[in-house]
Amino acid sequence: MKVKVSRKEHFNAAHRLYNPAWSDEKNAHIFGKCSNPNYHGHNYEIIVTLTGTPDPETGYVFDMKVLSDLIREHVTSKFDHKNLNLDTEYFKGLNPTAENIAVVIWKILRDKIDSSLDLKITLYETERNYVEYPAP
């Protein structure tokens, strides 16, 4: 029988939604105030969920301290107090919507964690908007 374990971390970042294939007018029309040229920002909350079988010796699916360290080393140290569009390699050609940020974080962490464990990312952009990847 499997157990899910989840760890919550956070980062604060600026971003702007923008499709370079479109005119500024179309960007403003589609993305509204989220496309403000001078950026806006969020306190992002990230939840990393692993699914697996508890180790009989430790009773852990995964050590939450180790998971916290992995998220901080590979994700929040790169995104915290950054401009996602300008300061990170991940969104040079990718629009930093909550959907795309969650997929990027999943790809960063997937090969840092044993493949026997399922991995899911939940990302809160605000208390009222959040996304989960992958969806079953």
Alpha carbon dihedral 57, 62, 64, 69, in 10-degree steps, equals 120
Alpha helices in 32-97 (DSSP H): 64-71, 77-79, 84-87
Three-state SS at 68: helix
> Least distance from C-beta 112 to a second copy, angstroms?
19
Note whether 21 binds a second copy by CB under 8 A: yes
Integer angstrom CA distances of residue 26 from 11, 19, 34, 49, 130: 30, 9, 13, 37, 25
Residue 34 designated active-site = yes
Residue 9 designated active-site = no
From the candidates 29, 40, 74, 81, give the one annotated as an active-site residue: 81
Q: Which of 25, 33, 92, 116 binds a second copy (CB under 8 A)?
A: 33
Q: Which of 24, 29, 32, 110 binds a second copy (CB under 8 A)?
A: 32
> Least distance from C-beta 122 to a second copy, angstroms?
9
Integer angstrom CA distances of residue 44 from 16, 48, 80, 88, 98: 14, 13, 9, 16, 9
Residue 22 is classified by DSSP as S
Pattern 58-97, binding to a second copy, x per CB under 8 A?
xxxx--xx--x-----------xxxx--xx------xxxx
Cis peptide before 134 (omega within 30 of 0): yes
Where in the sequence numbering do the catalytic residues fall? Answer: 34, 81, 125
Task: Using CB under 8 A, list all residues that contact a second copy.
Answer: 1-10, 12-15, 17, 19, 21-22, 30-34, 36, 38-43, 51, 54, 57-61, 64-65, 68, 80-83, 86-87, 94-100, 102-103, 118, 126-136
